[in-house]
Chain A
Amino acid sequence: MVVGMTMETFLQQLINGLSLGSLYALIAIGYTMVYGILRLINFAHGDIFMMAAYFTYFGIAVFFLPWYVTFIITIGLTILLGVTIERVAYRPLRDAPKTSLLISAIGVSFLLENVATYLFSGKPQAFPEFPLLTTPFFIGGLSIQPVSIVIPIVAFILMSALLFMINKTKLGMAMRAVAVDYDTAKLMGIKINGVISSTFAIGSALAAVGAILWCMKYPSVLPLMGVVPGLKCFIAAVIGGIGNVKGAVLGGLILGFSEVLMVAFFPALTGYRDAIAFVILIIILLFLPNGLLGKKQVEKV
């Protein structure tokens, strides 16, 4: 059911899809990195994202810090949170069965949500406005918020930086080694704990950047705001091939565009929008179990 879709409307939808997809991509990278190294679905990632949004909210709206100071503090605190979670909830279980680790991740997610509800109440908080970034400008009938352009740019820059780090630096090499073979990497004298902590630090920092940009575009902060983006971004990471940074970005974009375009072309189905991510997930898993850019994994016998 397409009601006279004009070129303008279509272009507008593409812009919508690009900025949403880039946000998904930013968060998906964090999932992919942790999964690549620990083979763990970090269920708490969406909630780390949520906490980052609260940190920013408190910095600007409650403590009246300048935005740049707040951003730095937010990223710092989020890194601390992510690394602490790994330290407390994942590290002790590293040699335990996979299931225990997964349950622990779910537990952390559940705990963060409940703590946030308890501390900050279930009411939404208004995220401070950044008029410079949110006041739209118009090209013809197209409305574009500057933040919608900033998001893909930031996502692209961070992805490139990350790829450089992974491929060219010593830490990146260590990460790749741990990802390929945990035990051998250990024997090679790589400091596993350090590498894993760094991974969580980077993943959390990306979640923080994602949260700041997300809230600029969707300015309300809620304890459960991380749940749905968290799930969707994990799916984005799987679509692209989990463990692969470029794949996460690709997956994020695919997901963002599919959601928006489904709404655009099938307005009657908008109620099913949240289901689309899962439908794509199942299709991908059926036909490309390793995602679009993922490598086949062989189990050792």
Chain B
Amino acid sequence: MNETQNSLGAYLKLHWKTAVFLVVLLIGIGLADIFVDSYMRRLLNLCAIYVIVSLAMNLVNGFTGQFSLGQAGFMAIGAYTVAIFTVPVESRTAIFYLEPMAPFLANIQLPFVVALILGGLASVVVAFFIGSPCLRLRGDYLAIATLGFSEIIRIVFTNTQSITNGALGIKSIPTISSLWWTYGTALLIIIATILLVYSSYGRAFKSIREDEIAAEAMGVGLFKTKMTSFLIGAFFTGIGGGLFAALLGTVDPKQFYFTLTYNFLLIIVLGGMGSISGTIIASFLVTLGQEALRFLDEPMAFGLDLPIFRPGLRMVVFSFLLMIIVLFYRKGLMGTNELTWDFMAQKFQSIKKKLSRKKTSTEGGGK
């Protein structure tokens, strides 16, 4: 191995565009953090959380090819862990007013970061128990079993009054509003995912997606590898859930109905199963798009009182879009490609070529 490649200088030389870009990105987040209003801030925070959870889902579904639908459940675990451990002790009696909090938890309060990581780890533990039976099974059973588990988690949280406060949920969770929490975490997770995907482990994930039998014949342990991916995904999702709880300041079991998972499914399908950059773009498009399409639910859209614009239309349009993508743009925005400098240069070249060809062809037609 070449020694110089290890040094920072050499790395920067090789990836100077990326380095510059990262700096610009950080400055961008900093500026946004100072200047955006709280509505936009909330949306941007939500975008970052969606990036985290979708990326985790894509790691399992897109890169490893294991169709898992348990995102809502893992988010719930992360969210509740943060909620339970960060709610100020003094306000707990007021919140748990139907049944007091279980004594072994009632006086434990942890710093946000600790609770956040604990939430990720808790969801890893649960994922291990879910994964052990399910990851040995055929793919489509995994889908239904993870969906089922996510429902079980919700039902359990509804019924364990003294720990989760049941249907009442937990409120007064200390909130985060700075973009740095969510974007910082998202950035770390994106980088970790990139490094993972472009490592031997990432290639093992992809080989399973491509052909399980061949992967196994090449020495890739199916169960172990699937499990690694599943657990990492669960960890990230738990973290995403924890941030979600801290963003909203309140959690209750209904938030984690399994249809929540469909949001992330839409994102990874739109972005491209197996594309990190696609997932990131799609997370923003979907989250901001859902807000932007609000006018569809308002009867007075465009100043016309059209009866077709009424609550519910937005979701119809949304689910319709999902169908269109699945049926006609099966690979989503990016397929399994990434938005790298090379990729962009290539695209740019091909567009340029197309344009110039058009030009010549119209000229030719003119003669």
Contacts and interface: CB of A to CB of B under 8 A. Distances in A.
Contact of B148 (A88, A271, A282): A282
B344 to A, nearest CB: 27
B300 interface: no
Interface string A97-128: 01110111011101101110110011000000
B339 interface: no
A237 B137 CA distance: 16
A272 B155 contact: yes
Given A110-B262, A286-B133, A98 B327 contact: no
Given A114-B319, A275-B152, A107 B326 contact: yes
Contact of A285 (B61, B137, B319): B137
Contacts of A93: 326-327, 330
Interface in B133-160: 133-134, 137-141, 143-145, 147-149, 151-152, 155-156, 158-159
A115 B65 contact: no
Given A99-B139, A107-B323, A277-B148, 5 more contacts: A40-B140, A41-B140, A93-B330, A111-B319, A111-B322
B40 interface: no
Residue picked from A98, A275, A289, most chain B C-beta under 10 Å: A275
Contacts of A92: 327
Contacts of B310: 118
A211 interface: no
Nearest to B160: A271
Contacts of B106: none
A113 B257 CA distance: 15
Interface in B61-108: 61, 65, 67
Interface residues of A, number: 45
B327 A272 contact: no
A301 interface: yes
Interface of B: 61, 65, 67, 133-134, 137-141, 143-145, 147-149, 151-152, 155-156, 158-159, 213, 259, 262, 265, 269, 273, 310, 312-313, 315-316, 318-320, 322-323, 326-327, 330
Given A271-B158, A282-B133, A235 B262 contact: no
A279 B316 contact: no
B159 A272 contact: yes
Interface string A181-222: 000000000000000000000000000000000000000000
Interface string A5-47: 0000000000000000000000000000000000111000000
A99 B67 contact: yes
B21 to A, nearest CB: 32
Contacts of A285: 133-134, 137, 141, 145
B362 to A, nearest CB: 35
B144 A114 contact: no
B327 A271 contact: no
A276 B33 CA distance: 46
Nearest to B132: A286
A235 B143 CA distance: 12
The 8 A-B pairs of least Cβ separation, nearest first, read A278-B148, A118-B312, A111-B319, A114-B315, A271-B159, A110-B319, A275-B155, A286-B133
Label chain B's interface by main secondary structure: helix
A115 B318 CA distance: 11
Interface of A: 39-41, 88-89, 92-93, 96, 98-100, 102-104, 106-108, 110-111, 113-115, 117-118, 121-122, 231, 234-235, 238, 271-272, 274-275, 277-279, 281-282, 285-286, 289, 297, 299, 301
Given A275-B152, A275-B155, A89 B323 contact: yes
Contact of A278 (B143, B149, B326): B149
Nearest to A90: B327
A114 B148 contact: no
Contacts of A272: 155-156, 159
B213 A299 contact: yes
B316 A102 contact: no
A107 B144 contact: no
Contacts of A282: 133-134, 145, 148-149
A41 B143 contact: yes
Contacts of A103: 265, 269, 326
A235 B137 CA distance: 15
A110 B145 contact: no
